[in-house]
Structure 1
Amino acid sequence: MGNMDMNEIDHFMPILMEREEEAEATPLVTHGSSHFMWIKHSNLYLVAMTKKNANASLVYSFLYKIVQVRHGFPRLLFQNVFNYC
């Protein structure tokens, strides 16, 4: 899919947890040449990954739109949606 190896996401949570412990969490996490743009909604992290020069504003707008769609369907569970992706 796209320009990323899907195994790259395995690096995201350990890096983020380490940075949160050190109070250095930022909305953009870099690991090697991989960049993770993320938001947290309730207990769910929504993450976009890229190795290329992505438009961060557009990516964050998209992530927040996903959250807005969720609010439009209160009975919709994110887990159910992502099980079908």
Structure 2
Amino acid sequence: MDELELEVKTLIVNALNLEDIEPETIDSQEPLFGDGLGLDSIDALELGVALRKTFGIKIESVNDDVKAHFANVRSLAQFIRSQRAE
């Protein structure tokens, strides 16, 4: 398992207090919202704050690109990597 993806999964579980879910059981390509992990818009805001604090990334405004980054764990990890590279 990709180390950064596991960090993101752990952050999701801890930041959103998902007590019934173990980070290792989250599929990296499972949708985070809707029928996937079942997160909602409030969770998205809390997750955005946690990502900023933990990884120092900037999320300027919600647009289609940002929504695509939050699609699943793998896309979030790729977004973090791209932000770190800048």
Same fold judged by TM-score > 0.5? no
Task: Tell me: higher relative CO, structure 1 or 2? Use CA pairs within 8 A at least 6 residues apart.
Answer: 2
Structure number with higher helix proportion: 2
Structure number with higher strand proportion: 1
- TM-score normalized by the length of structure 1: 0.29
Structure of higher CA gyration radius: 1
